[in-house]
Amino acid sequence: MVLNSLRFAAFFFAFLIVLLLLPKRARKIWLFFGNCLFYLSWVFSGQSPLATVPFIIAFFLLLFSAMLVWFCGINIRGARSREQGSGSSDRKSAESSHSHITEKLFLIFPILWNVGMLVFFRYTGLIGSLLKGLRGGLPISAGDILVPVGISFYTLRCISYIVDVRRGTINAVRNPLDVMLYVAFFPQIISGPIERPGKFFRELAAFQKKNLRNFEAIRGGFLLFVWGLFQKIVLAERLSAISAHYFNDFTAFGFWELLVASLAYTLQIYCDFGGYSDMSRGIAVMMGFETMRNFRQPYLAKGIKSFWRRWHISLTTWLTDYVYIPLGGSRKGTVRKYANIIIVFLVSGLWHGSTLNFLFWGLLHAFYQILEDLWNRTGRKLPGWLLWIITFAEVNFAWIFFNAGGLNRGVRIIRQMFSGFSFPAVWDTGLVPGNLVVLGLGLVVLLLVDVLHEKKVSVFQKVFTLPLPLRWLILLCLFWTVILLGVYGVGYDTSGFIYAQF
């Protein structure tokens, strides 16, 4: 059940109505029930009873992972309390040594469990495919193992929780229900963002106390949701048709057509993932949660470092805090710094997918980061417009490999692009003229909103300060644009989100 489906609309409407009517003490239980129902909706989606077994196992793996980090967090807290409460200096020294070992064990085990799950479900099939030709190779191939829904996101949340407890950034949570709500929070479990535990638990505490029958919050959340839906089903779906039209048969096209295809995919993944993030935030706001922004106008960035401060912010900050800084960050010399950057982007590439094109995509961005750092060391400055062009071109080029489905295919696409520069006599984008007009106007609106946000103008807050007739005109135009111009499939459900596969 994806966020842009009629099934989800029916589910969330019923969930929200009950939530608004429930007494405060029952809210967390109802949220847990909603999380479970949402996750299990992937199980009971018209499949045979036998086919649901792996999904049910995946659901219990999710609950077990949450319970494991809760249990280990409590024991880390207990070990620390025993150390602080010991008496004599000799006893304190012995307790300190024992507590230190205990804390490490309760830290390492849940990390190994979550990383191990991720490796098993995401990469065992790939390893099996690579070893199939060898004697005694694994008898499984890529695609043989069903990857649990949301595993790439909830494992990182589990690791965040246990590491933050060990660091003392947050206190271990006594109530296991709170940890399960954090790990399985349904607006974020499919494609993030990877919310930090401290922020989530503060919001959860406020959620239990605040008045949820707040028309302004529900209205604001609904507008944000519809704006995200607009990006997904009005823009991303049409952009997908263009990129697929050219890339699916790339050998029949030259430079200009494949350049258009690459630009279409660059905009598609932004509208798709950015749209999901806005929908997720809108849902959370209607429920009474303020969650983090995952995008801040990334395609207006002037520099690759700036791009990564704006794109998939939750993953960037996660990798910075839990991989880059523990490796030494930039504190141990230039060579070590560059090695750490390469490691971080290799991890990012692996997290996105198990094929070589994702690793190469990560290496490309590491190369961009290092090149930009070397240039900045010269003290020379480039004009802002030129920096923007360079950054956008770098990102656009890397997306070709990200989308290619394999490194070899990505290389072949690049070769085909530069095999001929003749301008096509007839353009066939895969869209009829009417859809091209809708897409063009929609992209202008998206650009205008991003430029205003870049200038610190909150468009959505401004909408609600307008005179009532104008306000409703804008809201109704956006709503009916989504209803009438959205691209729908069978059963009026659109395609899933790109990042849901990761």
CA distance 7 to 12: 9
**Domain ranges for the chain:** 6-213
Low-confidence ranges of the chain (pLDDT < 70): 43-53, 79-98, 125-145, 425-426, 488-502
The residue among 318, 294, 314, 288 whose CA lies nearest residue 204 is 288
Q: Report pLDDT for 433.
A: 87
Per-residue pLDDT tens for 104-162? 899 999 999 999 999 888 887 666 655 655 555 555 555 556 778 889 999 999 999 99
Per-residue pLDDT tens for 406-464? 999 999 999 999 987 878 766 788 888 888 999 999 999 999 999 999 999 988 888 88
Helix (H) and strand (E) counts in the chain? 19, 0
Contact 283, 3 (CB under 8 A): yes
Vertex 253 angle, CA 435 and 429, to 5°: 5
Chain mean pLDDT for the chain: 87
- CA 482, distance to chain mean position in Å, is 23
CA distance 283 to 360: 35
Q: Report pLDDT for 499.
A: 54
What's the whole-model pTM score?
Answer: 0.90
Q: Report pLDDT for 492.
A: 42
Name the percent of the chain lying above pLDDT 90.
64
Give the pair of three-digit tokens for residue 98.
């024992």
Cis omega (within 30 of 0) for bond into 193: yes
CA distance 58 to 48: 17
